[in-house]
Amino acid sequence: AQSVTQPDIHITVSEGASLELRCNYSYGATPYLFWYVQSPGQGLQLLLKYFSGDTLVQGIKGFEAEFKRSQSSFNLRKPSVHWSDAAEYFCAVGGATNKLIFGTGTLLAVQP
C-alpha cells in the first residue's frame, strides 16, 4: 500500500538559515510526488512535483526537492528561509488508486 511519512512534526529555523524537510514514501512503482504548503486557515498551494526525469526539481518560492529512489525519499530544501515561509508543509504521493496520499505534515516556524 502507498504511504508517506514525514518524520518531523515541528521544525524551527532561524531566518536566513537553510531548510530541509524530510519525506519518505512507500510505493512499489515509480511514484508521483508532490510538496504542498498551507498557511494558517488557507488552502494548499503546490510547491513542486516529481514524475520522472531529473531527480532534482525546482519549485516556486525558491524551493527545490530531490528524489532519491534508493532511499525512498523526496526531501524539500530551501537555501535561505524567509519569515513568510512559516507554514505547514505536506508531502504527498499519487499512485495506482488515483488518490493523493498525504503525509502528516511538518509545521515550520521561523525565528527572527
In this chain, which of 25, 34, 63, 67 binds another protein, going by CB under 8 A? Answer: 34
Q: Of 13-21, 34-42, 61-69, 74-82, which segment contacts another protein by CB under 8 A? A: 34-42
Q: Which residue has the cell 488557507?
A: 42
In this chain, which of 5, 8, 26, 32 binds another protein, going by CB under 8 A? Answer: 32
Please state, as a whole number, how many other Cβ atoms lie within 10 Å of the Cβ of residue 107. 14
How far is it, in rounded angstroms, from Cα 23 to Cα 6? 5
Could you say whether residue 102 binds another protein (CB under 8 A)?
A: yes
CB of 51 to another protein, least distance (A): 5
One-letter amino acid for residue 92 of the chain: A
| Residue (15 or 86) nearer to another protein, CB | 86
Check if the beta carbon of residue 63 is closer than 8 Å to that of residue 109: no
How far is it, in rounded angstroms, from Cα 26 to Cα 89? 19
Q: Of 12-20, 55-63, 70-78, 90-98, which segment contacts another protein by CB under 8 A? A: 90-98
